């Protein structure tokens, strides 16, 4: 039987950084992935002459070499940051509510503030005070939460104690009036799938702060390039990786993890396992009954499964400029009610309320062959309603919603449909199949206030078993990539302690 210090199950973002970090520390590590390529969500696929990015619309936390964000520092430590050509975006996003608002917000504090004031001059004071609060509050979050200040107190961090678990809508209502303005400043709610009423101000401020200060990024050739670079770094440092090789069972004995059984039935021994699969799959399907701790399942029961996505991957046969597309990141909203948009995420046959149209070529002209354009049009959707679609109707449902999305886009960009050369559709069931996540969740559990990381992480309570990825660190590239590093460091520390 092959023997390892650690087995990592799953080569999504969290699994990849966990494995690369362990190998860098000299630990004998095996990485298992059931798919034939690394990345999980962070992959690409080809149709016709296009290579489509599956997931990444905007990467947070990178920064540039002279002002590195936390993610760049981490990728640097793994030796992969310089392997990638980073594409910085100059604007955060454009928000369009047809006939009512069209605003583009630059990725710098002054530009962001000025653009809002220009559009909503009567709310100048409220806008300035709101953005000021976001910055002052998040500076306190960094000290109190991220730096774990031992002298934390309400006196030292008054805003943190007052607002950390307040919902974003309550605070926005204090400072801003116009529903269009509220939509413009909080449209990023869809990046975590929690509307302002359910979104902790900490999470909101973190997004605005991270994207403004460290800028949003893409990578040339898409996020597959990062996944590949992480695997290369892992192999270079002595790691073993097996693709098309799922983990079937986590082996246990004498109260702890002892190894992993592969889908083939082969067993490998290891005292530590980091799982990038969901805790439901990991603990519910891979562990023997006697190791399925009731208190852990009760703890999980306090959470709900987060959203998946419905995405149209579109290759246009013309340059984006020909259709008047000028921004990379475009939120298209048919109404301003974000609570309603969240409710619509639980439906299959609603009219689209909020979509994200990303045109990769605006910031990276090489995102598709010369004279063409790569577009991703995405709408968050919970997986539940898709699970009840009878197989013989799946095809109809799959295309019906996409057709509605394209109608909205056509209204905004006349001629769009006629230029579609390639199109592929991903529904929550597609993500379920490729990621092995319950209901195709792409962000792990819902990220409502009650799920805030301030309350601590999920602990399966089984010596040797750790998690990495969206289910424990929150969804999105930056959190999942960082969570793998944290899990690996925790395991490495344990091993060092054991070995003296
Ligand atoms: C359409 C879309 C758009 C998105 N847009 C953005 C964005 O713009 N910005 C952003 O930051 N984030 C975005 N995200 C979210 C982000 O991509 C995910 O939250 C993140 O990549 C999830 O990473 P993860 O580590 O949890 O692993 P996952 O991506 O869930 O991967 C888990 C891996 O584990 C493997 N696995 C599961 N079970 C087993 C098993 N038994 N044995 C072996 N392997 C197993 C799976 O095959 C998979 O490869 C988007 C996601 C999607 C789908």
Binned average pLDDT, 10 residues per bin, the chain of 500 residues:
97 98 98 98 98 98 96 97 96 98 98 98 98 97 92 96 96 98 98 97 96 97 97 98 98 97 98 98 95 92 96 98 98 98 96 98 97 98 96 94 98 98 98 97 95 80 96 95 97 95
Beta bridge partners of 39: 12
437 C-beta closer than 6 A to ligand 1? yes
Would you say 99 and 335 are in contact if contact means Cβ atoms under 8 Å apart? no
- The DSSP line for 158-195 is HHHHHHTTSBHHHHHHHH---HHHHHHHHGGGGGTT--
Rounded CA gap, 47 and 53, in Å?
A: 11
From the CA of 13, how far away is ligand 1's center (Å)?
7
The residue whose CA has the least distance to atom 8 of ligand 1 is: 57
Report residue 120 CA to chain centroid gap: 31
Q: Is 470 left (phi over 0), alpha (psi -120 to 50) or beta?
A: alpha
Rounded CA gap, 136 and 146, in Å?
A: 15
Q: For residue 352, what are its two tokens?
A: 């689209």
From the CA of 476, how far away is ligand 1's center (Å)?
8
From the CA of 14, how far away is ligand 1's center (Å)?
8
Using N-to-C axis directions, what is the helix angle for 124-141 and 168-175, rounded to 10°?
140
CA distances from 279 to 19, 221, 250, 274 (A): 18, 31, 12, 11
Q: For residue 162, what are its two tokens?
A: 């007052």
Q: Which domains does the chain have, with CATH numbers?
A: 2-45+66-84+222-303+445-499 (3.50.50.60), 107-214 (no CATH), 307-435 (no CATH)
Half-sphere exposure of 27 (CA within 13 A, CB side): 28
Rounded CA gap, 364 and 374, in Å?
A: 10
405 C-beta closer than 6 A to ligand 1? no
Rounded CA gap, 238 and 245, in Å?
A: 19
Q: For residue 197, what are its two tokens?
A: 């009423």
The residue whose CA has the least distance to atom 3 of ligand 1 is: 55
Q: Tally helices (H) and strands (E) across the chain.
A: 18, 22
From the CA of 96, how far away is ligand 1's center (Å)?
28
Task: Return the best residue to mutate from 211, 274, 477 for the ligand 1 pocket (most ligand atoms within 8 A of CB).
Answer: 477
Rounded CA gap, 229 and 227, in Å?
A: 5
From the CA of 435, how far away is ligand 1's center (Å)?
6
406 C-beta closer than 6 A to ligand 1? no
Rounded CA gap, 41 and 499, in Å?
A: 36
Q: What is the pLDDT of residue 306?
A: 98
Pinpoint the alpha helices (H) of 97-157. Answer: 109-119, 124-141
Rounded CA gap, 319 and 406, in Å?
A: 18
Lay out the sheet containing 420-426: strands in order across. 101-106, 91-97, 329-333, 354-359, 373-381, 308-316, 420-426
- The DSSP line for 370-415 is TT-EEEEEEEEE-SHHHHTS-HHHHHHHHHHHHHHHHHHHHHHSTT
Q: What is the pLDDT of residue 137?
A: 97
247 C-beta closer than 6 A to ligand 1? yes
Q: What is the pLDDT of residue 453?
A: 75
79 C-beta closer than 6 A to ligand 1? no
Task: Return the best residue to mutate from 40, 284, 310, 479 for the ligand 1 pocket (most ligand atoms within 8 A of CB).
Answer: 40
442 C-beta closer than 6 A to ligand 1? yes
Rounded CA gap, 43 and 55, in Å?
A: 7
Dihedral sign from CA coordinates of 63, 68, 71, 77: positive
Dihedral angle over CA of 103, 107, 113, 118, nearest 10:
-30
476 C-beta closer than 6 A to ligand 1? yes
Rounded CA gap, 25 and 18, in Å?
A: 11
From the CA of 59, how far away is ligand 1's center (Å)?
14
Q: What is the pLDDT of residue 24?
A: 98
61 C-beta closer than 6 A to ligand 1? no
Write the CB contacts of 343 (distance below 8 Å, at least 6 apart in sequence): none
The residue whose CA has the least distance to atom 21 of ligand 1 is: 41
From the CA of 436, how far away is ligand 1's center (Å)?
9
From the CA of 323, how far away is ligand 1's center (Å)?
32
Using the CB atoms, write b or e for 96-107: b if 16+ within 10 Å: bbeeebebbbbb
Atom from ligand 1 closest to the CA of residue 41: 29
Pinpoint the alpha helices (H) of 25-69. Answer: none
Task: Return the best residue to mutate from 54, 276, 360, 471 for the ligand 1 pocket (most ligand atoms within 8 A of CB).
Answer: 276
Q: What is the pLDDT of residue 85?
A: 97
Count CB neighbours of 417 within 10 A: 15
Using N-to-C axis directions, what is the helix angle for 124-141 and 201-214, rounded to 10°?
90
From the CA of 39, how far away is ligand 1's center (Å)?
7
Rounded CA gap, 106 and 112, in Å?
A: 5
- Mapping DSSP to helix (H, G, I), strand (E, B) and coil, where does residue 54 land? coil
From the CA of 61, how far away is ligand 1's center (Å)?
18
Q: What is the pLDDT of residue 266?
A: 98
435 C-beta closer than 6 A to ligand 1? yes
From the CA of 439, how far away is ligand 1's center (Å)?
13
Dihedral angle over CA of 110, 115, 116, 117, nearest 10:
80
Note the pTM of the prediction, 2 decimals: 0.97
């Amino acid at each position: 039987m092959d023997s390892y210090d650690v087995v990592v199950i799953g080569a999504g973002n969290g699994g990849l950084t966990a494995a690369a970090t362990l190998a860098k520390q000299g630990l004998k590590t095996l990485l298992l992935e059931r798919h034939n390529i690394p990345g999980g969500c962070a992959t690409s696929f080809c149709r016709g002459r296009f290579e489509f990015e599956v997931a990444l619309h905007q990467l947070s936390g990178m920064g540039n070499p002279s002002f590195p964000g936390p993610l760049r520092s981490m990728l640097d430590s793994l030796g992969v940051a310089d392997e990638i050509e980073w594409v910085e975006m100059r604007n955060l996003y454009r928000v369009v509510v047809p006939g009512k608002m069209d605003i583009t917000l630059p990725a710098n504090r002054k530009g962001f503030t000025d653009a809002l004031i220009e559009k909503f001059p009567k709310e100048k004071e409220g806008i300035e005070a709101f953005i000021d609060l976001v910055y002052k509050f998040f500076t306190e979050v960094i000290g109190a939460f991220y730096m774990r200040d031992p002298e934390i107190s309400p006196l030292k961090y008054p805003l943190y104690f007052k607002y950390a678990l307040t919902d974003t809508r309550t605070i926005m209502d204090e400072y801003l009036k116009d529903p269009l303005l509220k939509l413009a400043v909080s449209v990023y709610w869809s990046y975590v799938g929690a509307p302002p009423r359910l979104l902790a101000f900490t999470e909101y401020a973190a997004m605005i702060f991270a994207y403004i200060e460290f800028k949003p990024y893409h990578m040339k050739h898409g996020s597959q390039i990062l996944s590949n670079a992480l695997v290369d770094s892992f192999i270079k440092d002595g790691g073993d990786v097996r693709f098309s090789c799922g983990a079937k069972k986590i082996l246990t004995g004498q109260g702890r993890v002892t190894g992993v059984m592969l889908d083939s039935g082969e067993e490998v021994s290891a005292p530590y396992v980091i799982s990038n699969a969901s805790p439901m799959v990991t603990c519910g399907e891979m562990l023997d009954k006697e190791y399925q701790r009731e208190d852990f399942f009760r703890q999980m029961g306090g959470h709900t499964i987060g959203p998946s996505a419905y995405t149209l991957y579109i290759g246009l046969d013309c340059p984006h400029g020909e259709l008047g597309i000028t921004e990379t990141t475009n939120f298209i909203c048919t109404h301003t009610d974000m609570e309603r948009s969240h409710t619509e995420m639980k439906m299959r046959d609603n009219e689209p309320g909020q979509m994200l149209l990303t045109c990769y070529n605006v910031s990276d002209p090489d995102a598709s062959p010369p004279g063409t354009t790569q577009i991703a049009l995405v709408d968050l959707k919970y997986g539940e309603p898709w699970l009840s679609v009878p197989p013989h109707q799946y095809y109809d449902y799959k295309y019906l919603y996409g057709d509605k999305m394209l109608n909205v886009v056509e209204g905004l960009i006349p001629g769009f449909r006629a230029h579609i050369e390639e199109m592929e559709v991903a529904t929550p069931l597609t993500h379920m199949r490729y990621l092995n996540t319950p209901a195709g969740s792409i962000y792990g559990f819902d990220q409502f206030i009650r799920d805030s990381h301030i309350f601590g992480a999920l602990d399966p309570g089984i010596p040797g078993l750790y998690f990495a990825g969206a289910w424990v660190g929150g969804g999105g590239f930056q959190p999942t990539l960082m969570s793998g590093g944290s899990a690996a460091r925790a395991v490495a520390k344990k091993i060092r302690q054991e070995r003296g």
